[in-house]
Amino acid sequence: MRNHQGVHPRLGATDVCPFVPIQNVSMQDCVAISEKLGERVARELNIPVYLYEEAARKPERKNLANIRRGEYEGLKKKMQNPNWQPDFKAEFNARSGALVTGARKFLIAYNVNLNTHDTQAAQEIARRIRTSGWTIDKDGRKIHKPGIFDAVKAVGWYIEEYQCAQVSMNLTDYQKTLPHQVFEKISELAEEKGLKVTGSEVIGLILKQPLLKAGRFYFEKVGRDLNSVSEKELIEVGIEYLGLNDVQEFDPEKKILEYKIGV
């Protein structure tokens, strides 16, 4: 970690290891597992551990962004603050940083691509849509202003591999905010700037339900009758309208959790 550089916020080499209830396990089970992991990592590997989300022992530690604030570079000083002592204590580990673990709902890592290299445009859109939100007033001061969506974390950046700017998001509760909802709003905000959305991507896995809801939304948008539409068709339409094949192939058998694990 002493030499690591990157765009994404991080607190350590592993950084975050969440446990997510998917099938035949409760959220509380996942909290217990995260606590066991945290205790063992601190004891055996001498890596300080913070608990977050449903496992958080303090309200300010529920949000991962609060724990990450200051990142690895500020971790040593942060650990000296009595309010930010790790939940499972170990000395500052310059090689590995800290680990954050806990239990949370299924998170969708979802990115929307813009037809521009302009990072600032992507950042401005990210500030508009994310839950925390903020804006600049007429005197140039940064002020808090709630964003458009609930349960959305977002940043704007430029992806060299794709040669485009991107609004990169974590949708932390898909029951509150769905991929197609942020996709439509980002498309609208991009058009206001004279830009277009070219497509989107899912990092890791996505549940079937959000894609089914996207398919229903776009079928209804074009006036199609949903009574005779199969699950396969709904998912195909969701993939097509969200442009999930824009920068790399979206294979439902590999990217949809239920299909991948056979449930």
Question: How far is Cα 60 from Cα 16, in angstroms, rounded to an integer?
Answer: 17
For residue 108, what are the β-bridge partners? Answer: 171
- Reply yes or no on whether 8 is catalytic: yes
Residues 6+ apart with CB under 8 A from 134: 127, 142, 143, 144, 145
Q: What is the DSSP string of 207-263?
A: -HHHHHHHHHHHHHHTT--STT--HHHHHHHHHHHHTTTSSS---HHHHBHHHHHT-
Contact between 117 and 70 under an 8 Å Cβ cutoff? The reply is no
Residues 6+ apart with CB under 8 A from 205: 255, 256, 257, 260
Considering the candidates 4, 8, 117, 180, report the single residue annotated as catalytic. 8
Question: How far is Cα 168 from Cα 158, in angstroms, rounded to an integer?
Answer: 10
**Bridging pattern class, strands 197-203 and 134-136:** unpaired
DSSP-H helix ranges across the chain: 27-45, 64-68, 75-79, 119-129, 179-192, 208-221, 231-242, 252-255, 257-261
146: number of Cβ within 10 Å: 11
Q: Which residues are catalytic?
A: 8
